[in-house]
Structure 1
Amino acid sequence: MTMLSIGIGGMADAKTRILTADAGLEAADTETGAWLYFASYDDMHRVLAPSRLAIVRAMAGQGPLAIREVARRVGRDVQAVHRDVVTLAQAGVIDRSDQGVTFPYDQIRFAFELGVAA
């Protein structure tokens, strides 16, 4: 099973995760998939809004799909799904090719903490 892990943080957080994995402390995480970092919670929420997560869920493990097929699976207008697919592809969540759009993972894991205001 392959997994896309979503984190919040900058380049320093990504480098720390890579160094930790190199030390063997998170080998299980690095073997099961990839990491994608967003600079902030707001950036992550903008890209992974509920309607876009529905698209990702419909695509998970399905191989390349035409945008019309994705729209059919989520029950939405093709143009709206196309806009969402462009946003997801630009953020690196899905891949686009001549064969269609692909979410090459079986699941997503969100790995971040939100602090409370003092």
Structure 2
Amino acid sequence: MTTLKVKIESLEQTMEALADVMKAATGQSAPRSECSFSFPSWEAMHRVLTPKRLEIMKVMTGQGPLTKREVARRVGRDFKAVHADLETLLNSGVIDRSDEGVVFPYDRIHFEFEIESAA
């Protein structure tokens, strides 16, 4: 099962993770087995992963490539609105485009973040 881990982390934390990936790619360390997508803040995550876009991701999870019309049918929304949401998800890198349509190549989504009080 392939899980996408969605995180909120600082640019510094993201750069450290990228450095780890580069070390693994050059054989300097063991590769990480997780797939993750990071946002710099709660607000940034919420701008991209709105409730309707999360619903789209949910119906795409583990389904392979789907046409945009099929995604609209599965979520029960009009094509134009779903098309706009899919473009946002594509442009942000959350989903991918394939010859057969759009694809979310994961079987699960796991959210990992903490919310703290302001100091």
TM-score range, shorter chain: 0.7 to 0.9
Structure 2 unaligned regions, length at least 5: none
Say whether residues 1:75 and 2:80 are aligned partners. no
Three-state SS of the structure 1 residue aligned to 2:114 is coil
Aligned to 1:108: 109
Using the aligned pairs only, state the percent identity: 50
**What displacement does 1:35 show?**
1.1
Mapped partners of 2:117, 2:10: distance in 1: 20
Cα deviation digits, residues 8-49 of structure 1 (max 9, x gap)? 123311233454xx777xx7xx32x41111121111011101
**What displacement does 1:56 show?**
0.2
Say whether residues 1:56 and 2:57 are aligned partners. yes
**What displacement does 1:7 show?**
1.1
Mapped partners of 2:71, 2:88: distance in 1: 15
Alignment RMSD (CA, Å): 2.1
Mapped partners of 1:16, 1:98: distance in 2: 34
TM-score (norm 2): 0.84
Aligned residues: 113
TM-score (norm 1): 0.85
